[in-house]
Amino acid sequence: MTEARIDKWLWAARIFKTRSVAADACKNGRVTMNGGNMKPSRTVKVGDVVSVKKPPVVYSFKILQAIEQRVGAKLLPEIYENVTDPKQYELLQMSRISGFVDRAHGTGRPTKKERRALDAFTGPVMFGFDDEEEEDDL
């Protein structure tokens, strides 16, 4: 087989878990070739380099075989060659160390540490409520 649909190839090469996830990635602009976005029905051939964005890393794969049927994990070196820039792996390692991969500061629910800091900040001692109770007792 000399050509294959990109969504089927991404699934067959085990880059995405399901074909529908691969198709959604194509539709959302996370799969590119030569700087242009790819539709799920776009065909790829041997020698093409496909880039896949899986935040925070952009993986690049050179197609060695255009397949549409899923193969075993041991056969993957015959299907594609990983040509991802080593700097991308350094970025992945740094994001794992930092702990906050996809969460921008200030969005979503606070973490346990942030919640405790908020509780300490807005506690009754700060506003002087405890002082009033002590004066009433005298």
Alpha helix (H) ranges present in the chain?
6-12, 19-27, 76-79, 86-98, 112-121, 129-137
CB 60 within 8 A of CB 46: no
Among 12-26, 84-98, 101-115, where is mean pLDDT lowest? 101-115
Angstrom distance (rounded) from CA 7 to CA 84: 20
Residues spanned by the domain of 77: 3-102
pTM over 0.85: no
| pLDDT the model gives residue 107 | 73
List the CATH number of the domain containing 58: 3.10.290.10
Residues 98 and 54 in one domain: yes
Residues 38 and 94 in one domain: yes
For 41-92, how does the pLDDT look when each residue is reduced to its tens digit (9 = 90+)? 999 999 999 999 988 889 999 999 999 999 999 999 999 999 998 888 888 8
